[in-house]
Amino acid sequence: MAENSHEKTLAALGVTQSEQVAPLFAQLQTQATADLQAAHSADTFEKFRVNWLGRKSGVLTLVGDNWLKLATPELKRAVGQELNKFKAQLEAQMEARRAAIESGAEETVSTKDRVDLSLPGVARPIGSRHLIRQVFQEIEDIFVSIGFSVVQGPEIETPYYNFEALNIPEFHPVRDDMDTFYVEAATESGAKTAPGALLLRTHTSPVQIRTMEKQKPPVRVIVPGKVYRRDNPDATHSFMFHQIEGLAVDADITFCDFTGTIEYFVKQYFGPSVKTRFRPSYFPFTEPSVEFDVSCIFCGGSGCGANGATCGKCKGSQWIELFGAGMVDPAVYGFVNYDAKKLSGFAFGMGMDRLAMLKYGIDDIQAFFQNDARFLRQFP
Ligand code: PHE
Nearest one of 27, 9, 7, 5 to 67, comparing CA atoms: 9
Q: Is the CB of 203 under 6 A from ligand 1?
A: yes
211 in contact with ligand 1, CB cutoff 6 A: no
User: Does the CB atom of residue 161 touch ligand 1 within 6 A?
Assistant: no
Please, are residues 307 and 347 in contact by the beta-carbon 8 Å criterion? no
Give the per-residue pLDDT at 3.
Answer: 64
Ligand 1 close to Cβ of residue 349 (< 6 A): yes
Q: How confident is the model at residue 109, as a pLDDT?
A: 60
How far does the centroid of ligand 1 lie from the alpha carbon of residue 339, in Å? 22
**Smallest CA separation from ligand 1 atom 4, residue:** 203
pTM over 0.85, yes/no: no
The rounded distance, in Å, linking the Cα atoms of 167 and 285 is 6
Give, for ligand 1, the residue of 205, 208, 354 to mutate: max count of ligand atoms closer than 8 Å to Cβ.
205
Q: Is the CB of 324 under 6 A from ligand 1?
A: yes
Which residue CA neighbors atom 6 of ligand 1 most closely?
A: 349
Ligand 1 atom closest to the CA of 325, numbered from 1: 10
Query: Residues 167, 170, 172, CA angle at the centre, nearest 5°?
Result: 70
Q: Which atom of ligand 1 is nearest the CA belonging to 203?
A: 4
Beta-bridged to residue 346, according to DSSP, are 248, 327
* Largest distance between two CA atoms of the chain: 119
The CA 286 to ligand 1 mean position distance, Å, reads: 9
pLDDT of residue 36: 92
| Mutation probe of ligand 1 site: the residue of 178, 203, 230, 237 with most atoms within 8 A of C-beta | 203
Mean pLDDT by 10 residues, the chain (380 residues): 77 90 92 90 90 91 92 91 93 90 69 76 86 95 97 95 94 81 84 86 97 96 96 89 97 95 94 93 96 90 86 88 94 96 96 92 91 89
**pLDDT given for residue 103 in this prediction:** 80
How far apart are alpha carbons 350 and 242 in whole angstroms?
A: 8
Gap between the Cα atoms of 344 and 74, Å rounded: 114
User: Taking a C-beta distance cutoff of 8 angstroms, is the pair 106, 36 a contact?
Assistant: no
pLDDT of residue 2: 47
Rounded Cα distance, 35 and 77, in Å: 28
Q: How far apart are CA 20 and CA 42, in angstroms?
A: 36
CA–centroid distance, residue 242 to ligand 1 (Å): 12
258 pocket-lining for ligand 1 (C-beta < 6 Å): no
Distance 375 CA to ligand 1 centre (A): 30
CA-nearest residue for atom 10, ligand 1, is 325
CA distance 183 to 157: 9
228 closest CA partner among 186, 248, 198: 198
Task: Specify the residue with its C-alpha closest to ligand 1, atom 5.
Answer: 349
Contact call for residues 320 and 294 (beta carbons, < 8 A): yes
Please report the pLDDT score of residue 269 as a whole number.
95
CB atoms within 10 A of CB 304: 16
Strand order in the sheet with 198-200: 156-157, 198-200, 182-183
